[in-house]
Structures are given as C-alpha cells and as structure tokens.
Amino acid sequence: MIKHCLFPAAGYGTRFLPATKSMPKEMMPIVNKPLIEYGVDEAIQAGMSSMAVVTGRGKSSLMDHFDKNYELEHQIQGTNKEPLLDDIRSLIDSAQYTFIRQREMKGLGHAILTGKELVGDNPFAVVLADDLCISEQEGVLAQMAALYRQFRCSIVAVEEVPESETHKYGVIAGEHLSDDLIRITDMVEKPEQGTAPSNLAIIGRYILTPDIFDILQDTKPGKGGEIQITDALLEQAKSGCVIAYKFKGKRFDCGSVEGYIEATNYCYQNVYLKGSKVKIDRSSTKKV
Ligand code: UTP
C-alpha cells in the first residue's frame, strides 16, 4: 500500500507569467478548484493519506488552502454557500499535509530529493499538479498503485505525443511487456527534434521506490543545468525495475496556456456541470 504522495510545487511557472509572479501555478483554478486540489483528490482516491508538498518562496497559499479559514467559515456557516466548502473540507479531513521548502530551484529531481524528509524510506507517488489527469473510471494514480503492487518497481505514466512535441518531454524506450506496459531501457530528457527514442512521453505521475533518493543524491545537473528525475530514473532502470505505463484517461498540460484553456472547457462541461452534487445560488450570502 502506498501512503505518501509528493507534490513538487516549487517551480517558477514562467510559462504563465505574469499570473504566476506572486501566485503558485498549482493554485490556479480549473473552473472553481485549484489544480493542486484535483491532484490531492486523485491521490486520496488511490488510497494515499499523507500529502507531502515541496513549496518555495511565495507559495504559502498552498499551505493555507489545506488548513481551516475560521473567519470565512464562520461567515458562511449555515448559509446556502457552506456546501461549496464540502469538497475541500473532505480532502482536509482525509489526509495529513506536510510541507517542506526547496530553497533553490535546481530542478524536478532536486525537488523530489528535498521531499525525502517527508516520505522517508517508503515507496511514494509523485504528482505534478499542472498535469491534470481526468479518468472516467479509476484515477491514474490508482491505476499505477495497482501496477506497483504487481511489479514492486518504479512506475512512470506515459502518453503518445506527436513527434513534433517530443522535445518538450522526457521520452522513453524499452521492451514491451504488453500493449500498455514497457520495461524501460532508455530515457532522454527533452530530446533534440528528430532524435527521440520513441513518441512515448513521461507525464506528471510517478510511483517511485525509495532507492531513487540515493541515485538522486549522486545525479549531476543535466538538461538546462537542472537535476533531472529522468536521469535518475535511467540509472534506476539499469536494474530492470522501471516500468512505463500508458495510462487510461485524459491529460491536460495546464502549465501551458493552451492546455489550461482546454482543461477549463473540458472540466466545465464534463466535471463541474455533471458532477455538482449541490446546486447553489452563488448570488446570495443571506443566511437560510
Ligand atoms: P516545470 O518544468 O513545469 O517548471 O516543472 P515550472 O517552473 O513549474 O514551469 P515553467 O516551465 O517555468 O512554466 C515541473 C514540476 O516540477 C516542479 C514544478 O513546480 C512543477 O510541478 N519543480 C520544478 C520544482 O518543484 N522545483 C524545481 O526546481 C523545478
């Protein structure tokens, strides 16, 4: 059973400037919920109960979001708006939240290493909240947790992307175990156009075995001068125990403006309108 889920959320989010100048990218809303809330929901659905967030300077709203806001709660208590807090209250009650600061933004691999103090010597999930994953049945992390129980290896989620897009991702290659599972033998971070080993791109969902921390400790800065998780995973894959999984569901790159708009439109139609348990008149604050 995987208990811990790590959320690296210390990046600068430069593709979304100026919105991200003083607001964490992970707090940007898709309809009425911040991105991180979708990720936490997915982790809880996968049975995880310890959410470990790697934050940076100017990201304290991430901490506040998973805490009580007594003044607001007192103000809307008993009104028809109170049900709007149901989802976030349920997430807060269903898990423990811990936070650690990455002081220097040295890359995703370094952010994951910073989270070691929070997850300890345990297998753990990693969610990059700006990759929003929506699945009609089981969530993507739940699908991956089931695979971890089967293989006891690191599992990375991949999706097919057009060749013209491979330079934006970590790209894998390996031995096909089935239609949707590949034992990884090669992996390149953001390959130059025309040099990618396949069209299978790593997206922001991982399950990692804790030996990754020792590997990350020795991983030198790679592409862009950053410590890359892709480089550490390639080292881990030498033992034959890193598996890529073509997940079932849709993924939106909400770190890009186009992906963010696409996700907003999709979630408004398919999640918000269909899923709203409570119909609320948002125009009134009168006590009922
Ligand atoms: P990105 O590559 O999306 O970088 O990081 P970014 O800074 O968030 O966004 P852009 O590219 O400048 O627009 C992937 C994930 O890794 C985290 C980010 O917060 C994001 O979730 N990250 C990245 C860290 O936590 N620390 C880092 O040093 C780098």
Quote the longest CA-to-CA distance of the chain.
Answer: 63
Token output for 247: 């997940």
What pLDDT score does 282 carry? 46
- On whether the 4-287 domain is CATH 3.90.550.10, my answer is yes
Phi and psi torsions of 184, nearest 5°: -75, 130
Which of 155, 137, 141 is closest to 48 using CA atoms? 141
Give the atom of ligand 1 at the shortest distance from the alpha carbon of 226.
28
- 108 C-alpha to ligand 1 centroid (Å): 6
Note the pTM of the prediction, 2 decimals.
0.94
- Residues 84-143: pLDDT tens digits? 999 999 999 999 999 999 999 999 999 999 999 999 999 999 999 999 999 988 999 999
Q: Does the beta carbon of 33 lie inside 6 Å of ligand 1?
A: no
- Residues 136-163: pLDDT tens digits? 889 999 999 999 999 999 999 999 999 9
Distance (Å, whole) CA 255 – CA 151: 31
Q: pLDDT band at residue 283, thresholds of 50, 70 and 90?
A: low
The amino acid that residue 207 corresponds to is I
Q: Does the beta carbon of 111 lie inside 6 Å of ligand 1?
A: yes
DSSP state of 287: B
Q: Are 166 and 201 in contact (CB under 8 A)?
A: yes
